Amino acid sequence: MTAYRKMILATAITVAGCASTPPLTTASGNPEVIIHGKSQQEVSDLVATMCANEGRTIASQTATTVTCSKTVTDVMMQALTGPSQGTTQYAITKQGGAVRVMMSSAWLESTNGFGAVTRHPVDIRQGKLANTFQNGLNKMAESANGASK
């Protein structure tokens, strides 16, 4: 990635951060939900299904973690970073008689013209993207908690 492209990417991230929404008000500060009446494996399957329904690929799945990825199709982002892949990782833990799903990390991997891969962390604690992920988890939890009652 050229210095010019890095500068543009840094500026875009800074501007987006300045115009962001307040931080999430979850226990961890990350997007998260609590699901009742389901096992860890059932919740892991729900998270994997949510990712697939959003057009993401399941990179890996266990009862305690789900990793999803998606090729970035935004033309402006590709112009800034080159071909990119967005990845999200969810931690699934028992919490009392319920199961907690927390987005533990997200990143954007881009490949420059020489084939070098660069990983850019994504802020999942505030901003439009954090709220989008939280809303997705909320919908999944509402569906799961409603189905288990």
Q: What is the largest CA-CA distance in the chain?
A: 55
The half-sphere exposure of 61 on its side-chain side, counting CA atoms within 13 A, is 17
**pLDDT digit string, tens, across residues 18-58:** 555 788 999 999 999 999 999 999 999 999 999 999 999 99
CATH number at residue 98: 3.30.310
pLDDT of residue 7: 46
pLDDT (tens digit per residue) in 114-145? 778 888 899 999 999 899 999 999 999 999 98
> Among all chains, which residue has been given the structure tokens 């266990």?
62
What range defines the domain where residue 18 resides? 3-147
Domain count, the chain: 1
Rg of the chain on CA atoms, in Å: 17
What pTM did the predictor assign? Answer: 0.78
